[in-house]
Amino acid sequence: MRKIYLDNIRWATVMLVLVYHVCYMFNGVGIFGGIPDAESIPAFDALTYVVYPWFMVLLFLIAGMSARYALQNRTSKQFFRERTRKLLVPSTLGLFVLHWITGYFNIKMGGGLEYMPSFLVYPISVMSGGGPLWFIQMLFLFSCILLLLRKLDKNDRIWNLCRKANIILIFLLFILIWGAAQILNMPVLTTYRFGIYFVAFLIGYYVFSHEEVQNAIEKVRIPMLVIAIIAAIAYTVYYYGSNYAEPECLQSVFTNLYLWIVVLAVIGCSKKYFNQETEFTKYMAKSSFGIYVLHYPVLIVICYILQYHCNFAAIWNYVIALVADVVITFALNEGIRRIPVIRYLVLGQKGKYSHD
């Protein structure tokens, strides 16, 4: 069962990830992993506070919904093979082909190349080059666990029970999200938040995949949107200057309530206003995975060049980085899709290239 508005949410969120990563690269609030000593612009730092709490939760929730629809037309074995090719292959073998670049530049900017034997540079770059691939690594793991859960509930009792959720219960799911944010968080590697992302994935699969639930969320879209805008302003003002990737922020009730309100607003408004398909949206829907996978190595090279080999005003660093990342990433995606072996290793795509 394909939902056009879910495809649109996915590609739009991926494009938001690109914008976020540009702001993150030049951030001035001390978030680890950006360009060292970069000059930042406070307005763009503020944008990172607005989007960081919710955009990956939204992607995992959408992925859970999509998994439910995919399994209606696939056996468990077919689903596993497909997810292995599309998720596991790019997030492992793809490191050796492309994403070592991310690791290399992170090591270089951190001064590690001065102390590292030359024969270790490539393997260590590979091992440290994951970047945003953490998302598809975790998504593969969640997909495997989902297949086990389906075996335990062969009659779909849990899924059918979740159909009865009304808007009050749907809203109160933020308590579950908040609770999950407290557990299974990796130290240092703060993006690996297994608790909250797995729960978001399961909520997508068991709850939000019901048409009745989606209709209920659509009915409250305007109140949710208004509250989300107010909450975004309040959240940014309250936390601005602090490290938004630290547990003190990510695990707070305010953060998780805010992110859940935004998720509901996005789902409801998109179902109502973003459920149309054009040639552009069809292209973006088919390209969004490749854009997500490819954009970060491109961006880190661009930002390195801008920081260390150019002398532009800060605003131009942001503008040039974003425009160049979009143009080069889209071109790279189109190029890699046409190279059989590389296409499989980097994007998990097999078979002959097709414009479709």
Place of tokens 């009050």: 168
Contacts of 40 (CB under 8 A, 6+ apart): 26, 27, 28, 29, 314
Contacts of 312 (CB under 8 A, 6+ apart): 306, 320
Tell me phi and psi for residue 45, to 5 degrees.
-60, -40
DSSP assignment string, 144-202: HHHHHHHHHTTT-HHHHHHTT--HHHHHHHHHHHHHHTTSSBPSS-TT-BHHHHHHHHH
Token pair in block for residue 148 = 């086990």
d(CA 15, CA 203): 24
Token pair in block for residue 29 = 């609030």
Q: Are 270 and 8 in contact (CB under 8 A)?
A: yes
- Identify the pLDDT of residue 355: 45
Contacts of 230 (CB under 8 A, 6+ apart): none
Query: What does the pLDDT profile of the chain (356 residues) look like in tens digits?
Result: 679 999 999 999 999 999 999 999 999 887 887 898 899 999 999 999 999 999 999 999 999 999 999 999 999 999 999 999 999 999 999 999 999 999 999 999 988 888 889 999 999 999 999 999 999 999 999 999 999 999 999 999 999 999 999 999 999 999 999 999 999 998 877 889 999 999 999 999 999 999 999 999 999 999 999 999 999 999 999 999 999 999 999 999 999 999 999 999 999 999 999 999 999 999 999 999 999 999 999 999 999 999 999 999 999 999 999 999 999 999 999 999 999 999 999 999 986 554 43
Token pair in block for residue 10 = 């996915």
The predicted model scores a pTM of 0.96
| CA neighbor of 290 nearest in space, from 252, 339, 229, 323 | 339
d(CA 76, CA 74): 6
Alpha helices in 84-166 (DSSP H): 89-94, 100-109, 118-127, 134-152, 157-162
